[in-house]
Amino acid sequence: MHNINYIRENPVEFDNFMKTRGENPIANKIIEIDKVKRETQTVLQNLLAERNQISKSIGQLRSQKKDTTEEMEKVEDIKNKVNTLKELETLKDDELKSILSRLPNIPDSSTPIGADESENVFYRDWGNKPAFNFNPKLHFEIGENANSMNFETATKLSGSRFVILKGQLSKLERALANFMIDKHTLVNGYVEMHVPYLVKEGTLYGTGQLPKFADDLFTAGDDHWLIPTAEIPLTALHSNEILNTNQLPMRVTSYTPCFRSEAGAAGKDTRGMLRQHQFTKVELVSLVEPAQSKDELERMLSCAEGILQDLDLHYRVMTLCTGDMGFNANKTYDIEVWLPGEDQYREISSCSNCGDFQARRMNTRYKDNDKNVHIHTLNGSGLAVGRTLIAILENYQMSDGNVQIPQVLKKYFDYQNTLF
C-alpha cells in the first residue's frame, strides 16, 4: 500500500513511477478522493463538536426547567447530517483503498526501466554449462524413461499440471528440501518455521496477493485460501504488531507445498514439471529496518545462489526491469538455472525487496526511539525444489539414461553415485 502523503506531495513523480509499471496516471484521482474524504472528516468533527455543545446547553436548560424544543431539533438535524457524512466518509475511504490496493510498488532507483523480460539486465553468473557427447534429454524424458515420473496417473487423479514422483525421484525431492533447509538454518542464519497451508483473506490482502490476483489462487471456502508460496504466512507472522529493534533483522524459512491456478499460463510449459498447480519450495523471508533492506536483498540473493553453487549448477542472475517485476517488489533479482535439455535458462528463484509496501498493508511496525516505523520486508526462493530437481536431471544426466547424484546430496542416498 502506498503512502498517501507521498502521493499528495509528489503527484507527477508518482504517476511517472506507475507508468513504468504499466499503470495509467492516477494521482489526481487519488488526491481528489482523499480531499473529499478529509473535508468530510473536518465537517464531521465540527458537527460533533457543535452537537456536544448543544447537548450541554440542553442539560443547563432542563436544570432551569426551560423549553429545549429548539435545541432538540438542532441535535436531531445534526444527527441526520452526521449519518449522511459518515456514509460519504466510508464510501470515499473504500474507494481510496480499492484504488491503492491494486497499484504496484514504486520501483527502487536502481531497478532498470523496461517494458518486459526482454529488457531485464544481466547482473552476474556462476559456473559453466556442462558439455555432453550426446544430445541431452529433457527432464520429463529422463523421469518417464526411468519409470519415476508419472503425468498420466496424476492427470487421472487431479487433472493437468500435476505429477507423481516415484522411488528415487521422490527421494531426490525430499533430499533437496532437507539440504536447502539445513543450509539456510545451520549456515545462513534463518529460523525454520512450519506454517499453515491455508490462510485467511486478510492475510493475502496484507501481503499483496488480494484483491488483484484472486484468479491466480485456489480458494478453499469459508474465508480460507491455499497459499501460493510460504512468503504469505511467513511475511504476515507479525501483522498488526509493533516489534522491538532487538527482534530485527528477523530471518525465517519454510518448506511448503505451493498452490497456483496458473490462470495466465494457458499453453505455456504444458509438458513436464516446470509449471504446476502444486509444487514445493523453500522460502526465505526477512523483516528488517528500512536502512538495512538493500544490503539484506544482496545477502538473501547470495544465500539462494549458494544452494546452486553447492550443487554445482550453472546459473545467471538477472535484475528485473519495471515491466517484469512482481506487484509487491521495488527491486527483484531472478536466478535462472541452465537447463541443457531445453538449451535455455529458466527461473529457479526470485529475490525481492518490497520496502514498506507490504508492511503498510499489514500494519507491521517497529519501535524506532519514540516513533513506530513500518518495517521493510523481503522474500526469495531458496529454492524452488521441483525446478532444482529438473536442473539436476538435465545437468547430471548420463548417456545410458541414468543420473549422477551431486556430491552434497550423496549422504541422503547412502553415498551411491547414481540415481537409478
> Which domains does the chain show, CATH number per domain?
4-100 (1.10.287.40), 117-413 (3.30.930.10)
Q: Which residue, chain included where needed, has cell 447530517? A: 81
∠ CA 199-200-201, nearest 5°, is 125
- Predicted pLDDT at 418: 98
β-strands 365-368, 242-243 pairing: parallel
The answer to whether the CB of 281 falls within 8 A of the CB of 304 is no
- Predicted pLDDT at 169: 98
- Predicted pLDDT at 263: 58
The secondary structure of 44-67, three-state, reads HHHHHHHHHHHHHHHHHHHHCCCC
Q: How confident is the model over 284-312, as pLDDT tens digits?
A: 999 999 999 999 999 999 999 999 999 99
For 362-377, letters b (16+ CB in 10 Å) and e give bebbbeeeeeebbbbb
How far apart are the C-alpha atoms of 19 and 17, rounded to whole Å?
5
- Beta-carbon neighbour count of residue 145 at 10 Å? 13
- Predicted pLDDT at 71: 86
Tens-level pLDDT at each residue, the chain (420 residues):
899 999 999 999 999 999 999 999 999 999 999 999 999 999 999 999 999 999 889 888 888 888 888 888 898 999 999 999 999 999 999 999 999 999 999 999 999 999 999 999 999 999 999 999 999 999 999 999 999 999 999 999 999 999 999 999 999 999 999 999 999 999 999 999 999 999 999 999 999 999 999 999 999 999 999 999 999 999 999 999 999 999 999 999 999 999 999 756 667 788 999 999 999 999 999 999 999 999 999 999 999 999 999 999 999 999 999 999 999 999 999 999 999 999 999 999 999 999 999 999 999 999 998 899 999 999 999 999 999 999 999 999 999 999 999 999 999 999 999 999
Nearest CA to 159 among 268, 276, 258, 256? 276
CB neighbour list of residue 209: distance below 8 Å, 6 or more residues apart: 216, 217, 228, 232
- Predicted pLDDT at 121: 98
Is residue 324 classed as helix, strand or coil in its secondary structure? coil
The answer to whether the CB of 67 falls within 8 A of the CB of 61 is yes
The DSSP-derived string for 211-229 is TTTGGGS-EEETTEEE-SS
Enzyme catalytic residues: 260, 275, 347, 350, 387
